[in-house]
Amino acid sequence: MISKGDVLAARERIRDRVHETPLLHSTRLGAACGGIRLGFKCESFQRTGSFKARGALNAVMQLDEAERARGVVTVSAGNHAQALAWAASTVGTTCVTVMPEVAPRSKVEATRGYGGVVEQIGGERQRIFDRAQQIAGEGRVMIHPFEDDRVAAGAGTVGLEILEQAPRAATLVVPIGGGGLIAGIAVAMRETRPDLRIIGVEPEGANAMRRSLDAGSPQRVEPRTVADGLAAPMAGAMTYDAVRRYVDDVVVVSDDQIVSALRDILLYAKLVVEPAGAAGLAALVTGKVRADAGSEVVVVLSGGNVDLERLKGLL
């Protein structure tokens, strides 16, 4: 389990190379969610287009000289792939990412644009993780997309910024893929704000964390969702433990609800996000997460890396 100290150390380590992203408010959407004061933590404005840059950079900056010489490997649907390729290039090492065959083309191309080598695998998601582990066994350092203390601690720096930008927030809504983001945020914030409600959101077709909480242990799923950034095939042991200890609830929304929320964010907040980033608003609009009128609610917009042709189709 990571500690708040790990998150604070990560912030000092990466602060000069990542953005402190803005927290923007939407009166129109806040009214639609029951008259709340609604804030969006815009990680879509982060380097490489998602919060993943924080954890990837924190991880590679802790590699020793021998590890940097070996290079890194990971598995990703796209955002962690881009982030790790970018982070690796900043410290002078190389990156190989195993991606699903159905990964958005724009994310594959962006990963290569940051200097990463991409290998795409078809079939079940577990095959992708197995291939990444095989490459790691041949010498590269594995940087897991969520079940890695360094990655989760880096992601947790989002929470430290929210503490400063919205010190009176009553509720925080965070999308969940593998759980690294919400685990890091919850660890970072819980000690300072024990009264803050922290709610996770998953797609119906990739609800490994909700299933894990119901079963009492980490579970696996075969993800099928429009939100590729949340399509993790399992909940990690570390992330599950953090969610079980520090998160108040995890709710589930449908793909149609996610797409509707994505459209609302584009129309009324004038922000472009990917489906994964819209999951939090979907939970509020549908009443899966409720908050008192007048209270401040912060939703993490986790990323904005949506393929333009795919966005056209979704809309």
Q: Tell me, what's the pLDDT at 124?
A: 80
What is the pTM assigned to this prediction?
A: 0.95
103 and 225 part of one domain: no
- Which of these ranges, 63-72, 76-85, 209-218, 255-264, has the smallest mean pLDDT? 76-85
Specify the number of domains making up the chain.
Answer: 2
Residue 125: pLDDT over 80: no
DSSP labels, 100-166: ETTS-HHHHHHHHHTT-EEEEE-S-HHHHHHHHHHHHHTTPEE--SSS-HHHHHHHTHHHHHHHHH-
160 and 12 part of one domain: yes
Residue 186: pLDDT over 80: yes
Model confidence at 283, in pLDDT bands (50, 70, 90)?
very high
Structural domain including 94 reads 53-148
Residue 168: pLDDT over 80: yes
Taking the C-alpha atoms of residue 95 and residue 87, their distance in angstroms, rounded to an integer, is 9
106 and 194 part of one domain: no
- How many Å is the Cα radius of gyration of the chain? 18
Query: What number is the average pLDDT over the span 169-178?
Result: 97
310 and 216 part of one domain: yes
143 and 162 part of one domain: no
214 and 308 part of one domain: yes
CATH of residue 16's domain is: 3.40.50.1100
Structure tokens at 20: 């402190």
178 and 208 part of one domain: yes
Residue 10: pLDDT over 80: yes
265 and 161 part of one domain: yes
Q: Which of 89, 114, 148 is the last residue of a domain?
A: 148
